[in-house]
Structure 1
Amino acid sequence: MEKQHAEFVDRHRSELIQRVTAVMAIADSLLAVKIIHGETYSNIFVASTNMDKMRKLLVALNTNKAKSVFYNWLKDNDRFLFEDLKQKEIEQGMEGASAQTSSEVLETESHPQNTNTEQMEAVQQRTEDQQITWWNRDRSRTRHKTKIEELQRETDKQKVRNLWFCKAEKYMIGSGGSGTQVYIGVTEDGIEVAIKIITKNPKNIKEFENELKLLQDSKLESPYIVRYVSSAEDKDFYYLANQLCEYDLVDYMEYLRQSEQKDRKETTLRRIVKEILLGLQVLHRAEVVHRDIKPRNVLIDKEERARLADFGLSRKLEEGETTMYTDRAGTQGWEATEIINQTEIGGYKMSSDIQVAGMLTHYILSDGKHPFGDGIRCLVNISEGKYSLEDIQDIAAKDLIEWMINKEQDKRPNIDKVLNHPYFWDDKRIREVVHNLGNKEEVQEYKNCKNNEKLYETVQKYTEGKTFSDWKREAPETWTKIGKNLPNDLLGLLRHVRNALGHQEKEFYEEKMIEKFPDFLISLHKLALDMGWEY
């Protein structure tokens, strides 16, 4: 079927360039399944018009497989356009037609008079009311479907530049500081958006210009960052239009509490945590400090993917800077210790984001609880570094959160280290870590461990009091071939697990060796960090 799908895409190339509106949504999906790569995604993003974006995307679809994936996306997400193109083929007897050659495609684009004349005239003569009927050709099969349909019929709708919206309360989906309000809207060419309406004043001008600049920065293009669509202004307001998402994190967690979501809730929340942190990684690698991480600033898109949003308070570090000194920013209860304890001007570092991201991770995995408590005590506890992790059951998650929310800035991990924590390791990563660390020369020469004072003391530190501190005696009888000379500590268990993976893989998985000692991977991770081992 791939060949037929590719032929369909080739036959309709010109019309796809003219009529597909959700180009970046398609690009997001294709990037996620590795049909396109980051560089291609960036080239699409920076294209000046929707048609230019679509041209670049189609050029990137240079195999039948890639075109087939695009075909299926179109069928599933833009049903109106897909069915319209199919119907035209039937009417014109094109079902068995071969794909246009490259020269025919170029001819069509270069000479629009060769396209369907009636169609071109219809496009040119559409009135603004007619344009409204083009909104979201997938018929908004989403949470906001009803509101979009009502907005389509609304007689009191407004238009500023290329943005349609109505400032009635029923279309408002959010609000923020300084009177900022967010409404459902659509662009002229049919893209559903969330329009942030910002009152013009000296303070808001700076935040609007800052957020717009960051959203337009190609370094922040990511499936985990909310996507910028358009902007406008009139004499009283700025209008910032981003992709319309389904939920913010607070509402999404409420949705996941429904009984029918019970079976997938735990794995979904774990995935959401990682996606938020991947978004923060994008920011920090671009030298941007978010400064306002909180549940309401995490959005969930149509694919239920988490995206960081709201960059009005975010700031880009100047080259060579690690700290930014500004007035206090952020939201009460979602500020780092050093910000709460500041006197006048606060010093924001990426580690400030890390601590608040740790609070957010706890909030998600504990089903809505803050590690530093509620109310006025929350601020005091953050200031003093007093927290509780009793609502976190997963031992690896608890270790990660404790690391991230450390009161001392220099003891918190950077975002790359956060994402390399055992909490996120899958089976493949566990195999890599065990293999690489188990093969370290110092580990292989475990008999001489006492001669290496730093290694010996570190191994003892991460063995004492752990579930595996007497692992040779605690090991099940079914564990075979335990080396008699292996030490009864972290290094000995590492060597045994490494050998089992290399020579007794079936037994390794059947005996669930890692699960037997749940703090083994955490201790192994800490050992590697302290010893400076790359893995």
Structure 2
Amino acid sequence: MMSSIGGGYPVQETNSSGSQPWTQPNREHRQSESPSITVSRPVYLLLHYLHIIKSFTSDPNTEHGWRTLEDYIMNGHPGKEDLILLVMDILFILNVFHSLNAVHGDIKKQHVVVDNDGRAKLINFEKAERVKAGDGKIQEEIQKTGELAYYILSGGESYPQSDGDGSWTNKDIILDLTEWMTHPDPTKRRSLEDVLYHPIFWTDSRKTRYLQAVGNFSEVKQHHKDAKHDLNKKSKGKSFVNWRQEVEKDFAELLKKMDDYWERNGKPYPNDPCGLLHFIRNVFQHKAEEAPSIKFTSRFPDLFETVYFFAEEKGWNFRNSLQYIFREFFDIIFKNAATTQPEVLAEH
């Protein structure tokens, strides 16, 4: 059976162990003169699931009831999580292309539409092509994807000027994601597979596991002078500066139990960021049934981002316990998004 994905890309379905020739037509559709990309059946199913679509012959708003990306962002009232999901969709499918040594060739906001479920779809594949290793087109596409990601996550703002070295002094989680893809030195841009591991895509549960892991570091547990000073400095004016008071409002009994369990020299957990991280580590370790009800990431919405940037500056994010959390992504996305497995993202 012949199916079509992308800008009219014919894919011949075969058995589960076979592969499909993925042919890129030129504008005159003389397919015999066009390059061919062969993909395994699991990759075919993945592409089919993601609904890569050919160019619209009319306005997508009237043809499918879908919206242009700009209209969705400006008039669709999407929430933060909706915008993050759009970026994940785009990164995910482009990562499939890049793993096959192929590029879309013209990534920009005009070539993304949003369906009725709020999912991003790529259109206009006329410039898609196979590329050779080292020719730089994948790196160029990663940079453009980073700029597009900023446009989406910022709610339609223009791409900001960096400090000149590809970074920003006052960086937030959106700029951090952008920096992974837009570094002036192409060799320092992350692959889209790596970008998909970025913390902006993490669930609250995963962020909490990250906080537990940081709370287990000796520098935090033992309140090393430098770590305490630097984290306190980063935490000024944040929601968790008086964390004990906030936790005590709803969990006074649990806080007392943990204080009694941990007390050093008759003192409870310190009312500072190191004390909070150590508390998070211990409450999940010793009161696992009660701990999730505190909902640390929603109770203290700026806690994770503050600790993440602090750990990044300290070089802690490269420690094994945190790298393990960073590299969990595909186990989650493939179970929820497709019937395939991560190892099929390669040309057979």
Band the TM-score falls in, shorter-chain normalisation: 0.5 to 0.7
**Structure 2 vs 1, CA of residues 507 and 355 (structure 1 numbering), >3 Å: closer, same or farther?**
same
SS at match of 2:295: helix
Q: Hey, what's the Cα distance between the residues in 1 that align with 2:223 and 2:163? A: 41
Q: Hey, what's the Cα distance between the residues in 2 that align with 1:498 and 1:415? A: 31
Q: Paired residue for 2:74, among 254, 257, 260?
A: 257
The letter for the 2-side match of 1:254 is: D
Q: Output aligned runs, 1:89-100, within 5 Å.
A: none
**Structure 2 vs 1, CA of residues 255 and 354 (structure 1 numbering), >3 Å: closer, same or farther?**
closer
Q: Are the counterparts in 1 of residues 103 and 128 from structure 2 also a CA contact under 8 Å?
A: yes
Q: Are the counterparts in 1 of residues 211 and 277 from structure 2 also a CA contact under 8 Å?
A: yes
Q: Paired residue for 1:475, among 220, 243, 259?
A: 243
The letter for the 2-side match of 1:463 is: L
**Structure 2 vs 1, CA of residues 403 and 464 (structure 1 numbering), >3 Å: closer, same or farther?**
farther
Q: Hey, what's the Cα distance between the residues in 2 that align with 1:466 and 1:267? A: 26
Offset at residue 420 of structure 1 (A): 2.0
Residue matched to 2:141: 353
Q: Are the counterparts in 2 of residues 224 and 276 from structure 1 also a CA contact under 8 Å?
A: no
Residue matched to 1:366: 154
Offset at residue 435 of structure 1 (A): 4.5
Question: Are 1:47 and 2:10 counterparts?
Answer: no
Offset at residue 491 of structure 1 (A): 5.8
Offset at residue 355 of structure 1 (A): 2.2
Q: Paired residue for 1:282, among 56, 73, 96?
A: 96
The letter for the 1-side match of 2:306 is: F
Q: Paired residue for 2:189, among 412, 415, 440?
A: 412
Q: Output aligned runs, 1:11-90, within 5 Å.
A: 46-47=12-13
The letter for the 1-side match of 2:52 is: V
Q: Hey, what's the Cα distance between the residues in 2 that align with 1:362 and 1:248? A: 22
Q: Paired residue for 1:430, among 190, 204, 207?
A: 207
Residue segments in structure 2 that go unaligned for 5+ positions in a row? 6-10, 17-23, 248-254, 326-348
Q: Are the counterparts in 2 of residues 528 and 534 from structure 1 also a CA contact under 8 Å?
A: no
Q: Output aligned runs, 1:497-512, within 5 Å.
A: 497-502=280-285, 503=287, 504-505=290-291, 508-509=294-295, 512=298
Offset at residue 272 of structure 1 (A): 1.0
CA deviations over 1:382-414 (Å, ceiling 9, x no partner): 996679899x9xx42233223332323344333
Q: Are the counterparts in 2 of residues 256 and 265 from structure 1 also a CA contact under 8 Å?
A: no
Question: Are 1:270 and 2:84 counterparts?
Answer: yes
Q: Are the counterparts in 2 of residues 248 and 299 from structure 1 also a CA contact under 8 Å?
A: yes
Question: Are 1:463 and 2:231 counterparts?
Answer: yes
The letter for the 1-side match of 2:301 is: E
**Structure 2 vs 1, CA of residues 363 and 516 (structure 1 numbering), >3 Å: closer, same or farther?**
closer
Q: Hey, what's the Cα distance between the residues in 2 that align with 1:421 and 1:359? A: 16
Residue matched to 1:294: 108
Q: Hey, what's the Cα distance between the residues in 2 that align with 1:484 and 1:247? A: 61
Q: Output aligned runs, 1:121-270, within 5 Å.
A: 199-200=27-28, 209-210=34-35, 213-214=36-37, 218=41, 219=43, 221-222=46-47, 223-224=49-50, 226-227=52-53, 246=64, 251-258=68-75, 261-262=76-77, 264-270=78-84
Q: Hey, what's the Cα distance between the residues in 1 that align with 2:37 and 2:230? A: 43
The letter for the 1-side match of 2:89 is: E
**Structure 2 vs 1, CA of residues 359 and 207 (structure 1 numbering), >3 Å: closer, same or farther?**
farther
SS at match of 2:149: helix
Q: Hey, what's the Cα distance between the residues in 2 that align with 1:365 and 1:388? A: 16
Q: Are the counterparts in 1 of residues 94 and 192 from structure 2 also a CA contact under 8 Å?
A: yes
The letter for the 1-side match of 2:151 is: Y
CA deviations over 1:292-336 (Å, ceiling 9, x no partner): 221122233454421234444444455xx3x21xxxxxxxxxxxx
**Structure 2 vs 1, CA of residues 383 and 475 (structure 1 numbering), >3 Å: closer, same or farther?**
closer
Offset at residue 424 of structure 1 (A): 1.3
**Structure 2 vs 1, CA of residues 388 and 478 (structure 1 numbering), >3 Å: closer, same or farther?**
closer
Offset at residue 276 of structure 1 (A): 1.0
SS at match of 1:299: strand
Q: Are the counterparts in 2 of residues 293 and 356 from structure 1 also a CA contact under 8 Å?
A: yes
Residue matched to 1:235: none
The letter for the 1-side match of 2:110 is: R
CA deviations over 1:434-482 (Å, ceiling 9, x no partner): 445555xxx25856797xxxxx98x579736412799996324243346
Q: Paired residue for 2:174, among 392, 397, 413?
A: 397
| Higher Cα Rg, which structure | 1
Residue matched to 1:308: 122
Residue matched to 2:19: none
**Structure 2 vs 1, CA of residues 406 and 206 (structure 1 numbering), >3 Å: closer, same or farther?**
farther
Residue matched to 1:519: 305
Name the TM-score, length of structure 2 as normaliser.
0.59
Q: Hey, what's the Cα distance between the residues in 2 that align with 1:276 and 1:283? A: 11
**Structure 2 vs 1, CA of residues 46 and 417 (structure 1 numbering), >3 Å: closer, same or farther?**
same
**Structure 2 vs 1, CA of residues 463 and 448 (structure 1 numbering), >3 Å: closer, same or farther?**
closer
The letter for the 2-side match of 1:298 is: V
Offset at residue 360 of structure 1 (A): 0.5
SS at match of 2:308: helix
* Aligned Cα root-mean-square deviation (Å): 5.0
Q: Hey, what's the Cα distance between the residues in 2 that align with 1:289 and 1:197? A: 14
Q: Are the counterparts in 1 of residues 25 and 31 from structure 2 also a CA contact under 8 Å?
A: no
Offset at residue 228 of structure 1 (A): 6.8
Q: Hey, what's the Cα distance between the residues in 1 that align with 2:291 and 2:311? A: 22
Q: Are the counterparts in 1 of residues 181 and 190 from structure 2 also a CA contact under 8 Å?
A: yes
Name the TM-score, length of structure 1 as normaliser.
0.41
Offset at residue 254 of structure 1 (A): 1.2
Residue segments in structure 1 that go unaligned for 5+ positions in a row? 1-20, 26-44, 54-195, 230-238, 325-346, 373-380, 451-455
Q: Which has the higher contact order (CA 8 A, sep 6+)?
A: 2
